[in-house]
Copies of this chain bind each other. A is one copy, B any other.
Amino acid sequence: MRKLQMVFSFCIAASAVMAQSTDSAMFKRIADDVFTNSTGYENLRILCKKVGPRLSGSPQAAAAVQETYKMMKAMGADTVYLQECMVPHWVRGAKESALLVDAKGKTFSLNICALGNSVGTGKQGIKAEVIEVRSFKELEQLGVAGVKGKIVFYNFPMNPTNVETFRSYGEAGQFRGRGPSMAAKYGAVGAMVRSLASNIDDYPHTGTTTYNDSFPKIPAIAVSTRHAEYISAELKKNKTMQLYFRTECEMLPDVKSHNVIAEIRGTELPNEVITVGGHLDSWDLAEGAHDDGAGCIQSMEIIRVYKKLGIKPKRTIRVVMFMNEENGLRGGRKYAEVAATEKDKKFIFALESDAGGFTPRAFGFTAEAPVLTKLRNWAPLFKPYGVYEFADGGGGADIGPLRPLGTTLSGLRPDSQRYFDHHHAANDTFEMVSKRELELGAINMVLLLYVVDQYGL
């Protein structure tokens, strides 16, 4: 048995080597064409500058549907169509404001924004004593006696020592997500979180909070890291500072929106579907250039380059612009829900790019062990294009719901050092994206889709 296995492994390895020299020539053709002829960077400009911020339910989100539909049509996709889904419709309302007020009534204006999906204070705002905590344990120890009637300030900085910034985001992110309801549990009237940003700067970073229905929904904001540091220093001098803030955001009834889906039909195994995508919606504060205009643009590159080079996929390639990743994931859920009903099809593989348009370093995979082994045979071919690792684990929020269908998931992992300077903040703009970095990411995505299509899983 062991011997048979070895022979078997040898055969796989040998056929892989033979295939690889042809593939490496095709890889070069694809890469050269993207670096020379890609329209991605100019399309990203359209998404950022012509369309702009495109929060689910906004007119800009609808415009983004139209624009990307046109882009993929123009690239020559076999079909492009809209997939309807209902999305939350949260609106920020009038620009927020906040003041730190000392005992003498002296005020200091803070850079803040409402957290996504949060309730507003109404025009009159709220004013209360502010109490700083760095953990849920501290909050618990304060209890109702220490928290009731106050505004809880979660001041947990992203840990700078993780090379992978997403890890620090995960650690710090719980306060934005669960913090407001946890504060409400002890009677707080409002919550403020330190922005999830790598550096000390002046941008408040938004993002969703998730209310726990067992507790009152209290208004929740994010404050810039620089002002978080400032407030903390002031509170050390004077424990009874007050905070005033006003947010006029509100959650309106769900509205109709769409995923945009383009296909290149497979020539040999059209019922095996390979999905690739990014999310079309963005936060309302910025242009959503890195998050996730870049991923959308990179995902559609395969259409342009396949049509240009005359590559006909064996399997069906579906490029999806997912709606509503940011504050609902309705698009990703809808896509998987419909996929589950397409009984004649097998959703073998899905790739997402939603970690910024930065220089690529790796792919992550959620796959059974033999599939991961097979994928890793191809890894050396990617090294000349800057992807050095096929890592265990990964995917993306929008493609996650496909996993129960047995789909192998993958996520592009760009370098993450700059991501949280821009994420969900006003400086996530077109100018912050490097054309070559964007293209190099797109190249690696097309290359991965190419081998998966050619050889299956």
Q: Which of A366-418 contact B (CB under 8 A)?
A: 384-386, 388-389, 415, 417-418
Q: Within the assembled complex, what's the spacing in Å between the Cα atoms of A359 and B161?
A: 15
A421 CB-CB contact with B under 8 Å: yes
Q: Which of B36, B385, B418 contacts A437 (CB 8 A)?
A: B418
Number of copies: 2
Cα–Cα, bound, A436→B32 (Å): 30
Cβ–Cβ < 8 Å partners of A198 in chain B: 435-436
Contact status A36-B163, CB under 8 Å? no
Question: Are A161 and B35 CB-contacts (below 8 A) given A198-B436, A199-B435, A435-B199?
Answer: yes
Q: Which of A161, A199, A388, A415 has the most CB of B within 10 A?
A: A415
Which of B32, B161, B385, B386 is within 8 Å of A415, CB to CB?
B386
Q: State how many angstroms separate the Cβ of A439 from the closest Cβ of chain B.
A: 9
Which of A388, A421, A436 has the largest count of B CB atoms less than 10 A from its CB? A436
A386 CA to B386 CA, complexed, in Å: 12
**What are 19 of the A-B contact pairs (CB < 8 Å)?**
A31-B161, A32-B161, A35-B160, A163-B384, A163-B385, A163-B386, A165-B436, A198-B436, A199-B435, A359-B415, A386-B415, A388-B388, A388-B389, A415-B415, A417-B436, A417-B440, A418-B434, A418-B437, A421-B434
A361 contacts B by Cβ under 8 Å: yes
- Not counting A31-B163, A163-B385, a sample of 16 additional A-B residue pairs whose C-beta atoms are within 8 angstroms of each other reads A31-B161, A35-B161, A36-B160, A36-B161, A160-B436, A163-B384, A163-B386, A163-B440, A198-B435, A198-B436, A199-B436, A361-B386, A388-B388, A388-B389, A417-B440, A418-B437
**A interface residues with partner B (beta carbon < 8 Å):** 31-32, 35-36, 160-161, 163, 165, 198-199, 359, 361, 384-386, 388-389, 415, 417-418, 421, 434-437, 440
Query: Chain B residues with Cβ under 8 A from A384's Cβ?
Result: 163
From B163, B199, B436, give the contact of A418 (CB < 8 A): B436
With CB as the reference atom, state the residue of chain B lying closest to A415: B359
**Minimum Cβ distance to chain B for residue A163 (Å):** 6
Complex CA–CA separation, A32 to B162 (angstroms): 8
